[in-house]
C-alpha cells in the first residue's frame, strides 16, 4: 500500500534570534540554510528578528485575544503564523536566551501553538545549551514542541573566518539532516492539531 504524501510541504522558519549589531547569528543561520538544502523535504525561510524591530512588549491587550494594536505586532504575528515549524538560531546570554527572543515569543500565543521547534545554539563552552533549556520552558508554555535533535556550537566565534563566514565542524554538519527529518516528521503529525 502506497503512503500518500502531504499536499503541502512543511514551512520551516529559521529565526536569527539575536539582534545585537555585533552578532554572529546571521553567519550561522546562512550556513544552516546552505547545509539544509540537500536534506530538506520542506521549504525553509530565513527570518531575522532584527528586521521586525519589536520594542519591549507593548501590546495593550493580552496576546491570547489576538487584538493587536501595533503594525510591528501584526507583521510579526503574520510571519509566525505562516510557519509550520521553527529553528531558532540563538546564543546564550547569562545562562539564558537573548532578551530579543523572549520578547518576540511573549508577543504571541496562538501563532506558536502545536508547532515543533529545533535549536541551532551557539556560545562559549556550553554552546548555548543553558539558554536553550530556558527557552524550552517558555516554548512548552506556548504549546510549542521542542525536539531533541539540535546543532550545538561551543566556542562559536572561533569558527567565524576572516570574511565573516561560519565554518562548521564535521559533527555540526552531521547534525543538520537528523534535525530536519525530525522537525518535518513532527510538523506533519501536529498539523492535525493546527487545523
Instruction: Please give the average per-residue pLDDT across 150-177, as a whole number.
Output: 97
Contact 33, 43 (CB under 8 A): no
Contact 135, 88 (CB under 8 A): yes
How confident is residue 5, by pLDDT bands cut at 50, 70 and 90? very low
93: three-class secondary structure by DSSP: strand
pLDDT tens readout for residues 53-105: 999 999 999 999 999 999 999 999 999 999 999 999 999 999 999 999 999 99
Residue with cell 521586525: 52
Instruction: Please give the average per-residue pLDDT across 4-12, as a whole number.
Output: 71
Q: Where are the beta strands (DSSP E) in the chain?
A: 11-16, 43-48, 85-91, 116-123, 145-154
pLDDT score for 195: 86
Sorted by where each starts, the structural domains of the chain and their CATH numbers stand as 11-190 (3.40.50.360)
pLDDT score for 7: 55
* Percent of residues, the chain, with pLDDT higher than 90: 92
Residues 6+ apart with CB under 8 A from 25: 16, 17, 18, 89, 90, 91, 122
How confident is residue 1, by pLDDT bands cut at 50, 70 and 90? very low
59: three-class secondary structure by DSSP: coil
Among 18-22, 40-44, 105-109, name the one with the lowest average pLDDT: 40-44
pLDDT tens readout for residues 40-49: 788 999 999 9
The answer on pLDDT for 6 being more than 70 is no
Instruction: Please give the average per-residue pLDDT across 164-180, as a whole number.
Output: 97
How confident is residue 8, by pLDDT bands cut at 50, 70 and 90? confident
How confident is residue 3, by pLDDT bands cut at 50, 70 and 90? very low
pLDDT score for 4: 45
The answer on pLDDT for 128 being more than 60 is yes
Q: What is the 3-state secondary structure (H, E, C) of 40-57?
A: CCCEEEEEEHHHHCCCCC
Report helix angle 99-106 to 129-141, nearest 10: 10
Q: Cα Rg for the chain, rounded, in angstroms?
A: 16
Amino acid at each position: 500500500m502506497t503512503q500518500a504524501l502531504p499536499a503541502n510541504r512543511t514551512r520551516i522558519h529559521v529565526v536569527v534570534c539575536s539582534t545585537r549589531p555585533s552578532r554572529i547569528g546571521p553567519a550561522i543561520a546562512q550556513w544552516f540554510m546552505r547545509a539544509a538544502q540537500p536534506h530538506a523535504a520542506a521549504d525553509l525561510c530565513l527570518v531575522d528578528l532584527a528586521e521586525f524591530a519589536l520594542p519591549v512588549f507593548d501590546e495593550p491587550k493580552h496576546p491570547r485575544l489576538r487584538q493587536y494594536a501595533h503594525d510591528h505586532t501584526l507583521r510579526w504575528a503574520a510571519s509566525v503564523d505562516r510557519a509550520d515549524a521553527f529553528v531558532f538560531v540563538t546564543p546564550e546570554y547569562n545562562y539564558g536566551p537573548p532578551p530579543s527572543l523572549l520578547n518576540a515569543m511573549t508577543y504571541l500565543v496562538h501563532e506558536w501553538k502545536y508547532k515543533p521547534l529545533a535549536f541551532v545554539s551557539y556560545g562559549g563552552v556550553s554552546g548555548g545549551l543553558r539558554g536553550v533549556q530556558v527557552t524550552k520552558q517558555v516554548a512548552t508554555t506556548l504549546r510549542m514542541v521542542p525536539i531533541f535533535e539540535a546543532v550545538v556550537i561551543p566556542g562559536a566565534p572561533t569558527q567565524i573566518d576572516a570574511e565573516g563566514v561560519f565554518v562548521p565542524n564535521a559533527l555540526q554538519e552531521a547534525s543538520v539532516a537528523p534535525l530536519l527529518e525530525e522537525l518535518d516528521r513532527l510538523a506533519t503529525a501536529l498539523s492535525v492539531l493546527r487545523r
